[in-house]
Amino acid sequence: MDRLRNYRRFIIVMLILIFLVYGLYLLINELGPWGECGRLQRDMENTLSRFKSVRGSDPVKNQLIDDLIADLDYSKLNKRPKLFERFTSEGVKIPLVYINGQGFNVHPINAMNLATEALFYRRNWTEFHDIMSWILRYLEQDGNAFFFNFYFRWEKTSIPWNSSLCQGIAAGYYAISYKKFGDPRFLKAARGLVNSFLIDQKNGGFVTRTPYGKFYLEYSNAPDDLVLNGFMLSLKGLTIYNTLVGNNVSKLLIKDGLDTLHKILPIYDDGEWSLYSPKHGRADENYHRLHIRLLYFLGKWYNDKFLLRYAIKWDSYLTKKSNSELPRARQEYQFWSDLVSELRS
């Protein structure tokens, strides 16, 4: 009996020790130098090393400072950030976005998404104005072209990189801002963003040549990845710009883009669904729906029956499994059409 009691005591003591060690391990990982504070400290070191490799300018320094402030402020929360989590530091007008191992970063595409939400979903002109004003601090100049550059690594390792999606939508949104608020800084930004569509990918831009014509890259650091939604979104932004404050440059860019879209679109149709890109294959349902809305927008705006046929065809793939996207496509088109008409008048 004594031996049995001793054995039980031994088991109990060992279990207590195991729980204590495990609890200590969890505590260290949550609060200690290997925990979330330590994680963000390593992210900040990564941020500093990334920015060290690029030539400094005020917009670049603004990104670096805002990135580091966000990391510091978030570390006070003592929790683990998730990929693409948004976080807004005090004094910063837009949330920054968390990228694994690279901390919180200024994300110009996310800023455009926020501006879209402010206009389309909330009809909040003050919020829209604040976003578009704030991100001017990140706008970099290259000759007569302006760029929103990205300083975190994505797709490929090279930084900085830029995106036709962001450049085109921002050009359209700055045209809207200028017509609404009359601030000449907005018109200057819009013009410079449009001029960025004249710079080849090899020279620091995002325009690449394909057998089908010029293609505007969503990821300038991945010229082999012809992402359809980014290309069409850039055409949507250029369309809004051209309708409000356009010039010969924007007209030519739209013509070249639509010519390419006509020739290349069949490549993105596998007979049952649309492709995100030839490299990545099929789009998920959200991107497939986005393709339908963008084809409908461009088709209606330019009275282009070819693009409208593709919008209807791709919607038919969708309705075999789910609800039609065409009602939402019509709603979005009407919103932008009415908004542009109002601003022109």
Tens of pLDDT, residues 274-294:
999 999 999 999 999 999 999
pLDDT score, position 153: 87
pLDDT score, position 27: 44
Residue 14: pLDDT over 80: no
Q: Residue 179 corresponds to which amino acid? A: K
Residue 164: pLDDT over 90: yes
Residue 90: pLDDT over 50: yes
Residue 196: pLDDT over 50: yes
The tally of CA atoms less than 13 A away on the side-chain side of residue 296 is: 24
**Crossing angle between the packed helical segments 285-301 and 228-245, to the nearest 10 degrees:** 30
Range in 49-58, 97-106, 127-136 with the lowest mean pLDDT: 49-58
Tens of pLDDT, residues 171-188:
999 999 999 999 999 999
pLDDT score, position 34: 40
Q: What percent of the chain has pLDDT over 70?
A: 88
Tens of pLDDT, residues 15-55:
454 454 444 444 445 444 445 666 678 888 888 888 877 76
Element (H, E) at 215: strand 213-216
Q: How far is CA 320 from CA 218, 265, 266, 284, 329, in A?
A: 30, 21, 20, 15, 18
Q: What is the pTM of this model?
A: 0.88
Name residues whose C-beta falls within 8 Å of residue 1's C-beta, 6 or more positions apart in sequence: none
Taking residues 266-279, report their average pLDDT: 97
